[in-house]
Structure 1
Amino acid sequence: MSPHDALRPLFDDAQVRPDLLRQRSPLRWGAHPPGVIPLTAAEPDFPGPPVVTDAVLAAVADGYFPYAAPAECGALREAFSDVAEARYGIAAHPGRVVPAPGTAAAIWGVVRLLCGEGDECVLLDPVDLLFGQAIDAAGARKVYCPVDKSTGRLDPDRLASLITSRTALICMCNPHNPLGTVFGETTLRAVAEIAGRHRIPVLSDEVWNEIVYPPGKHLSMASLDTEYGRRVYTVTGLSKTFALPGLRMGFVIAPTVREAAALRLTFQRLGATYSMTPFTQAGALAALRHGWPWRDAFLEHLQEIRDYCVDRLNAIPGMSCGRPDGTYVLFPDVSSTGLSSRAMGAYLLSRARVAVVAGTPEWFGPAAEGNIRISYATSRAVMAEALDRIAQAVEELVAGGPAAFQATGAQR
């Protein structure tokens, strides 16, 4: 028996406890009344690695909760730089590693460092809302580069056509949320060459880099043997890999030690310098050093649930869903039902008592219309019940037409 086989029971149906999750998960289970199944926030319903829990408990056992000094992150930077080289092919000196209180904060910090009022930032469409929020906060302008929703293909020539004299940053998301695309070497090299030719830095959000299903393989843009890799800021973290979103632990690998120092100063100005508490650092170190067998078992579970969900969704009239290469979110197309993304979200909540994320511009950009996002990092039993409800509701909708929708009182 392999080490991760022994951990498979940690992902049994009994491990998902809705009553407890309603208390502990305010963005997912706690956001809805009992009886609603939430498939919303990309947050696993399972406890994280036991080694992390043990490390955090040991760190707080003496009852002291002191401030954390930035210098105390030295061991964490070294541990992550080892992981970055061994697993991602990025030979990052610890001085280039900048810990951050979560990947969202990391994205905000990089955008604030590189962009200002009147600048333009190219981002993918659709893509997770964090990029747009950070760009707006910096006073810059969003420039959308479409990604084909059915194939996940990014056209580098289209991206190149969007570059102007005001372009300050290109934002990538790989693996891609919400499409689940894992961009290959050809695409990544093309984007890196475009950025290098115009001397534009790239923010590469790779927080999903460990949630990639065989035979797929993630490739970090900064690992490419190209001169343009020197302009890539790689963002990742522990939230998706180890089910630790509340630990608030992210990392940026800056292109150089000098640029890492500038980023630390930006975090200081944003008030995020002292946010990595001693027990957060202890938990992060435990995950980076000892959490990989847990991750392997988690990925096996996720692949089984992915395949089950995709097959079920594609059997529902009016719905179509691709099989993602990475992440644990699905982005099914619901446009054939005749409902908008927002209306379908309202309909499923009202009729099926299942909460999903509507593909609206504020969540995923203009191109997300016609889709909904579903997070499946939960048990087989939860997904089976949710999909039973969705199938019945959508079949009623397709069979009954507008009258079936209007009967729910939901708004188009």
Structure 2
Amino acid sequence: MSIFDEVHDRLNTRSMKWDMRHLVFESEDVLPMWVADMDFKAPKEVNEALIKRAEHGIYGYTAVDNEVKDSIVNWVKTRHNWGINREWLSFSKGVVTTLHMAIRAFTEVNDKVLIQTPVYTPFYKVIEAHDRKIVKNPLFKEDNYYKIDFKDFEEKLKSGVKAFILCSPHNPVGRVWKKEELEEMARLCLKHDVVILSDEIHADLVFNGEKHIPIASLSDEIAANTITCMAPSKTFNLAGLEASYAITTDKEKREKLIDEFNKQGHGNGLNTMANTALEAAYKYGAPWLNELNSVLEGHKNYVTEQLENRTDLKVTRSEGTYLLWIDCSALNLNAEELKQFMIHQAKVGLNTGIDYGEEAAQFMRMNIACPRATIEEGVNRIIEAVNNR
């Protein structure tokens, strides 16, 4: 049996996904397939490194040294073919935290910030929390596949946009952007003097035949206009340890970002266990990740196949992440009705599409980073509930 088939009991571990069901869904009966963490153990090398560090028993202030930085440099080069320098790195507890600081550092109150909807919910919050204005470049779906409206993209940039938050790979629609798409977005941002804040937290989670390309790796000029946010958290199921980093090639931008962290009291480092886990994951986790991606693609194919002959539920074609974007519009339910149907009839805890944008009111997001037995149970519950409507 694969390590990814093993079912782990996560109850009573203070798991947001499992132990907070009564708060999120007002029910303990739902099978949780929502918040983006995995029901898999981290690589054994990571757990062994954490145990060894804990055995030392002293948890004083911890530095991010060159060995940790080199593990990142080597990972990004090996995995994404991008040669970066240690000096370009800065650190934070999470990508969302970095986005908050970047919005403050590179835009002013009332400035416009562009996002491509439907998109990861915190993007809205990091803009509005600092009194900036959201500008939307809606993605459009063609043949069950999301694409960028570049004409609208440029028109929006021309309206006075100062920053663009890119989601790459895209959450929730699962697109892994092609080189030509990235080049065109980058070209237009340079043309209109718009800084790119690139959330690439799902960079390592791509399916066979697909390739994640960091937008900043396209050219030195594009890199100088980009703050790239990455982390091992989604890749290796380390979200609770709070480890992420930004890659900023431009010295002035990097110093400005770090200064904003310091002004807001966040500092520029990682906690003791985050340091340890990040290094171990990037040094030893590649074989585990390769198997994981194969498992996730199998899960995606299973769910797609189970629903492909139905007219009422459709899985959007995706190329990466462990999140499926399911079109439920044929059920003819509004956003609240769809949410309640999934909770009370299907008894499956999914993310509601409307949280990612008004245009997604009849979609649901499913997390497939769990054992196959959980996937099968969740899909069967949904199918049975729809059949019994």
TM-score (norm 2): 0.93
Q: Confirm whether residue 310 of structure 1 aligns to residue 304 of structure 2.
A: yes
Q: What is the RMSD computed on CA atoms of the aligned residues? A: 1.7
Q: Which amino acid aligns with 1:28?
A: K
Q: Which amino acid aligns with 1:29?
A: W
Q: Which amino acid aligns with 1:11?
A: F
Q: Deviation at 1:215?
A: 1.0
List per-residue Cα deviations over 1:5-57 (Å, max 9, x = no partner).
Answer: xxx72111xx222xx31222532111225542011111100111111111111
Residue aligning to 1:328:
322
Separation in 2 of the partners of 1:16 and 1:262? 45
Q: Confirm whether residue 144 of structure 1 aligns to residue 136 of structure 2.
A: yes
Q: Which residue of 11, 31, 34 corresponds with 2:4? A: 11
Unpaired runs of 5+ residues, structure 2, are 22-26
Q: Which residue of 10, 16, 25 corresponds with 1:27? A: 16
SS in 1 for 2:198: strand
Q: Which amino acid aligns with 1:9?
A: S
SS in 1 for 2:278: helix
- Decide whether aligned partners of structure 1 residues 25 and 357 sit closer, same or farther in structure 2, where only a CA change above 3 A counts: farther
List per-residue Cα deviations over 1:120-155 (Å, max 9, x = no partner).
Answer: 000011000121111112211110101114321012
1:85-104 aligned at under 5 Å gives the runs 85-104=77-96
Q: Confirm whether residue 298 of structure 1 aligns to residue 289 of structure 2.
A: no
Q: Confirm whether residue 319 of structure 1 aligns to residue 313 of structure 2.
A: yes
Q: Deviation at 1:200?
A: 1.3
Separation in 1 of the partners of 2:254 and 2:40? 34
Residue aligning to 1:43:
37
Separation in 1 of the partners of 2:44 and 2:52? 12
Is contact 2:258–2:268 with CA below 8 Å preserved after alignment?
A: no
Q: Deviation at 1:373?
A: 0.6
1:11-410 aligned at under 5 Å gives the runs 11-12=4-5, 15-17=6-8, 20-24=9-13, 26-32=15-21, 34-69=28-63, 72-149=64-141, 150-164=144-158, 166-225=160-219, 227-273=221-267, 276-360=270-354, 363-397=355-389
SS in 1 for 2:137: strand
Is contact 2:157–2:189 with CA below 8 Å preserved after alignment?
A: no
Is contact 2:313–2:326 with CA below 8 Å preserved after alignment?
A: yes
SS in 1 for 2:327: coil
List per-residue Cα deviations over 1:321-378 (Å, max 9, x = no partner).
Answer: 1231001111111111110233212111101211111111xx2122222211111100
Separation in 2 of the partners of 1:68 and 1:225? 34
Separation in 1 of the partners of 2:343 and 2:269? 36
Separation in 1 of the partners of 2:358 and 2:158? 21
Separation in 1 of the partners of 2:16 and 2:317? 26
Q: Percent identity?
A: 24
SS in 2 for 1:347: helix
Q: Deviation at 1:226?
A: 6.0
SS in 2 for 1:330: strand
Is contact 1:101–1:250 with CA below 8 Å preserved after alignment?
A: yes
Q: Deviation at 1:73?
A: 4.1
Separation in 2 of the partners of 1:325 and 1:375? 15
Residue aligning to 2:24:
none
Q: Which amino acid aligns with 1:243?
A: N
Is contact 2:112–2:161 with CA below 8 Å preserved after alignment?
A: yes
Separation in 2 of the partners of 1:62 and 1:89? 36
Separation in 2 of the partners of 1:312 and 1:184? 28
Is contact 1:102–1:250 with CA below 8 Å preserved after alignment?
A: yes
List per-residue Cα deviations over 1:243-284 (Å, max 9, x = no partner).
Answer: 111121111111323322221221122222166112210111
Is contact 1:43–1:245 with CA below 8 Å preserved after alignment?
A: yes
Separation in 2 of the partners of 1:187 and 1:235? 19
Q: Which amino acid aligns with 1:395?
A: N
Unpaired runs of 5+ residues, structure 1, are 1-7, 398-412
List per-residue Cα deviations over 1:175-208 (Å, max 9, x = no partner).
Answer: 1100001111111111111011112110111111
Separation in 2 of the partners of 1:38 and 1:76? 34
List per-residue Cα deviations over 1:204-258 (Å, max 9, x = no partner).
Answer: 1111111110111111111113633320111111111111111211111113233
- Decide whether aligned partners of structure 1 residues 322 and 138 sit closer, same or farther in structure 2, where only a CA change above 3 A counts: same
Separation in 2 of the partners of 1:54 and 1:37? 30
List per-residue Cα deviations over 1:79-112 (Å, max 9, x = no partner).
Answer: 2122222322332211111121122222222222
Separation in 2 of the partners of 1:282 and 1:228? 32
Q: Which amino acid aligns with 1:378?
A: C
Q: Which amino acid aligns with 1:101?
A: K
Is contact 2:296–2:369 with CA below 8 Å preserved after alignment?
A: yes
